[in-house]
Structure 1
């Protein structure tokens, strides 16, 4: 039978979101029905609302979520009813060429639930996008009292963790942490600069601290964010609206540049900063998501002559089954401050106003608590 739940829906491009009644089916083979306890408000949800990630409206928003498995479909063995889980948007297949190479974090065939969640009043979608079938954000759709996902999108973690904090591993925190630690490979005694101190950049700073980096340089144009970055472990801050970020990073690293530079913004100017602010043979990591029209131009001789690595970080190159439980353990040990990312807790009908606060840089994360 279908479950009627309240959920946040973006009906058309640029329009304010609304709380609607949504039908969520019982799980089929390989699927899980999850009672959502908390879900973070991420920039990606705003990109969906603005039409920046496809035009398959209406969208069921929300994806940084934690909750409890209510029921599972046929063949599901990885989770069971009653399990406390963090949801992820890259359920690995286990059989593609990347998985067979032992690199499942690069899985080329990630999957979601096959059944659709719908608005009440029908099950089909018109060509104009006006039908009732919903497109869940990143295959999750967790601004809802319950959601349907592929069972592989559920990662069981310690149930003593706060749902509001744990759910943030589902996207932004994991992306930033992994960009520094997995993709960038920052280690004990290394130097790292993080350009852009929103939620993802702040997680990269926190990850570098956990990894034992010696110098952690936070770069932003917002003084409030730089102050916050110090709380998460930044040893130095650079206000790039007042000084040349590349020269400042070099000055703080003996004139050489940082071992790792993370671009958590995703613009041509910040990527060039990351490229030139790294040491010779250093690593530049792009984790900020660019918009489709952006391009970057670099002298090819500089690309050759500076050596090192230019990497893109997909979801922090994470493997949820490995990384989510490990980071929850660090959180419960007091070594990784997930609670610090939760700026406020809100209700479902406050998501639209949370977008405004996020856009103004007033919060790291607003978290919907159900």
Structure 2
């Protein structure tokens, strides 16, 4: 039988979110129901609410989630009832050209649950990133569930489901930061500060945090930044010069743009050393355009990369990072700014917009 639970939806573009009844069908083959324990409030949820992703309203919001599997469909072998899991939005297929060349983190055919959750009147919901976890329960594909150590705080490790993994992975997986590298991170919200944590974990010797918010820069220092640049009063050239001044005049080996705007990407491009690496992990909006001399692209060499979900492989990365957290080697708890109820998500969006929090986490 179907289950009716409470969930938070965005009904139309820009409208305040609503806490409503949603209907979850019995899981079909390969699908599971997860009882959500916690879910982080992410910028991507705001993008969905504001129509910045697509127009497939109404959306069931939420995706940075941890919980326990409560019901499984036929043929499910990946998880069992009672497993503590972090949800992911890249259930790899195993058969596409990326998977077959042993690069499953680039899987070009990821998938989600086949059935739709609905409103009580039958209106189909579009779950954010195929998850929809601002809800007491949600329906996902079994491979969207990654088992991690149940000793971990769900409010903390649930954040691996999106922003924290995106930032750490931008440094470790996409940027290939190694011991002794210099790294600059533009934008020190949740993703940018996670990139700083990843750079420190990799052994970078110089880690430069760049932001216009002093609170975010202070947090970046506690998480591993060795230097900070207040970009509030600087133009593009000023930011580039400041990075060069901190790297013997050369620029950083790896520059991570965690904002995702044309101006910050240009800063990243010119603030790197010759043959250095630029990593774009901040998500631009569809109307943004970039103009840069092609000769500069050729003449500076190196690598210009986009980081999808931190180029992570959840089955590999989530358990490893959870173990490092439990060992006290990864300060993931620093990202949980507050724990809130499911009825306070609009307030959490406002706090995030003001830069008051790294992450608000809904506890169910």
TM superposition score normalised by structure 1: 0.97
TM-aligned CA deviation for residue 185 of structure 1: 0.4
State the distance in 2 between where 1:3 and 1:347 align. Answer: 21
Provide the secondary structure at the position in 1 that maps to 2:207.
strand
Match of 1:141 in 2: 132
Matched ranges for 1:112-261 at <5 A: 112-122=112-122, 132-243=123-234, 244-261=238-255
TM-aligned CA deviation for residue 112 of structure 1: 0.2
State the distance in 2 between where 1:72 and 1:97 align. Answer: 29
- Once the two structures are superposed, residues 50-87 of structure 1 have per-residue CA deviations (whole angstroms, 9 ceiling, x without a partner) of 00010111100000000000021112111110000000
Q: 1:79 and 2:101 equivalent?
A: no
User: Which of these residues, 343, 347, 352, is aligned with residue 349 of structure 1?
Assistant: 343
Match of 1:128 in 2: none
TM-aligned CA deviation for residue 242 of structure 1: 2.5
Gapped runs of 5+ residues in structure 1? 123-131
- Once the two structures are superposed, residues 156-179 of structure 1 have per-residue CA deviations (whole angstroms, 9 ceiling, x without a partner) of 000000000010000000000000
Match of 1:68 in 2: 68
Provide the secondary structure at the position in 1 that maps to 2:33.
strand
Provide the secondary structure at the position in 2 that maps to 1:148.
strand
Provide the secondary structure at the position in 1 that maps to 2:305.
strand
TM-aligned CA deviation for residue 121 of structure 1: 2.1
Matched ranges for 1:261-340 at <5 A: 261-340=255-334
State the distance in 1 between where 2:345 and 2:226 align. Answer: 34
- Once the two structures are superposed, residues 279-307 of structure 1 have per-residue CA deviations (whole angstroms, 9 ceiling, x without a partner) of 00000000000000101111111111110
- Once the two structures are superposed, residues 315-367 of structure 1 have per-residue CA deviations (whole angstroms, 9 ceiling, x without a partner) of 00000000000000110011111110000000010001110111111000000
| Residue correspondences, number | 361
Q: 1:20 and 2:20 equivalent?
A: yes
State the distance in 1 between where 2:337 and 2:150 align. Answer: 22
Provide the secondary structure at the position in 1 that maps to 2:285.
coil
State the distance in 1 between where 2:273 and 2:75 align. Answer: 50
TM-aligned CA deviation for residue 6 of structure 1: 0.5
State the distance in 1 between where 2:152 and 2:239 align. Answer: 38
State the distance in 2 between where 1:319 and 1:105 align. Answer: 5
State the distance in 1 between where 2:25 and 2:87 align. Answer: 18
State the distance in 1 between where 2:276 and 2:320 align. Answer: 27
State the distance in 2 between where 1:174 and 1:76 align. Answer: 26
Provide the secondary structure at the position in 2 that maps to 1:241.
helix
State the distance in 2 between where 1:236 and 1:75 align. Answer: 52
Provide the secondary structure at the position in 2 that maps to 1:142.
coil
TM-aligned CA deviation for residue 141 of structure 1: 0.2
State the distance in 2 between where 1:187 and 1:330 align. Answer: 18
Q: 1:101 and 2:101 equivalent?
A: yes
Provide the secondary structure at the position in 1 that maps to 2:362.
strand
Which moves more between the two structures, 162-171 or 68-77? 68-77
Which moves more between the two structures, 236-245 or 220-229? 236-245
RMSD: 0.6
Gapped runs of 5+ residues in structure 2? none
State the distance in 2 between where 1:3 and 1:323 align. Answer: 32
TM superposition score normalised by structure 2: 0.98
- Once the two structures are superposed, residues 110-140 of structure 1 have per-residue CA deviations (whole angstroms, 9 ceiling, x without a partner) of 0000011011122xxxxxxxxx110000000
